[in-house]
A and B are shown apart, each in its own frame.
Chain A
Amino acid sequence: DIQMTQSPSSLSAPVGDRVTITCRASQGISTFLNWYQQKPGKAPKLLIYAVSSLQSGVPSRFSGSGSGTEFTLTISSLQPEDFATYYCQERYNTLMYTFGQGTKLEIK
Chain B
Amino acid sequence: DVQLVESGGGLIQPGGSLRLSCAASGFTVSDTYMSWVRQAPGKGLEWVSDVYRSGSTYYADSVRGRFTISRDDSKNTVYLQMNSLRVDDTAVYYCARVEFTLGCFDSWGQGTLVTVSS
Interface bin, chain B: 10 to 19
Number of A-B pairs, beta carbon distance below 8 Å: 58
Instruction: Say yes or no: is B27 at the interface (Cβ < 8 Å to chain A).
Output: no
Question: Could you tell me how many residues of chain A have their Cβ less than 8 Å away from some Cβ of chain B?
Answer: 26
Instruction: Say yes or no: is B79 at the interface (Cβ < 8 Å to chain A).
Output: no
B46/A99 in contact, CB under 8 A = yes
* A40 → B minimal CB distance (Å): 11
Q: How far is the CA of A93 from the CA of B22 in the complex (A)?
A: 25
- What B residues does A3 contact at CB under 8 A? none
Q: How far is the CA of A36 from the CA of B58 in the complex (A)?
A: 22
Which residues of B85-118 are within 8 A (CB) of A? 94, 99, 102-106, 108-111
User: Please, which residue of chain A has its CB at the minimum distance from the CB of B105?
Assistant: A46
- Contact (A43, B103) CB under 8 Å given A96-B60, A98-B47, A100-B44: no
Instruction: Say yes or no: is A20 at the interface (Cβ < 8 Å to chain B).
Output: no
Instruction: Say yes or no: is B45 at the interface (Cβ < 8 Å to chain A).
Output: yes
Instruction: Say yes or no: is A89 at the interface (Cβ < 8 Å to chain B).
Output: yes
Instruction: Say yes or no: is A16 at the interface (Cβ < 8 Å to chain B).
Output: no
A45/B108 in contact, CB under 8 A = yes
Q: Name A's B-contacting residues (CB within 8 A).
A: 32, 34, 36, 38, 42-46, 49-50, 55, 87, 89-92, 94-102
Q: What are the 8 tightest A-B residue pairs by CB atom distance, in nearest-first order? A: A91-B103, A43-B108, A34-B104, A97-B47, A99-B45, A49-B104, A32-B103, A102-B44
